Amino acid sequence: MAVHRIVVDVMLKPEILDPQGQAVANALPNLGYAPPVDLRIGRHVELALEAPDADAALEQATKIADTLLANPVIEDYAVRLA
């Protein structure tokens, strides 16, 4: 059993409004930056899991993402080795 480091990125689905990202996008011109074409904010989760191999760790992380880290109704997630 080795420790595998995995990253899960969780984002609101494209059709779901992102008020946090919109607030940051609206703040940029006030700080002297050009307005961004797009800006969305999600969660970045760094996990270290004990598993026999990388595939098993990815499978476990995907289950965790689906049940606990993301709300699959409104969010998409991507799981990858760090």
Q: Which residues bind its own copies (CB under 8 A)?
A: 3, 9-11, 21, 24, 27-28, 31, 33-34, 36-50, 60, 63-64, 67-69
Helix or strand or coil: residue 77?
strand
Amino acid at 42: G
Q: Select 36 or 72, whichever has its Cβ closest to its own copies.
A: 36
**Closest-CA residue to 65 (of 16, 11, 13, 10):** 10
Q: Select 38 or 73, whichever has its Cβ closest to its own copies.
A: 38
> How far is residue 58's CA from residue 14's CA, in Å, rounded to a whole number?
25
Shortest distance, position 45 Cβ to its own copies, whole Å = 5
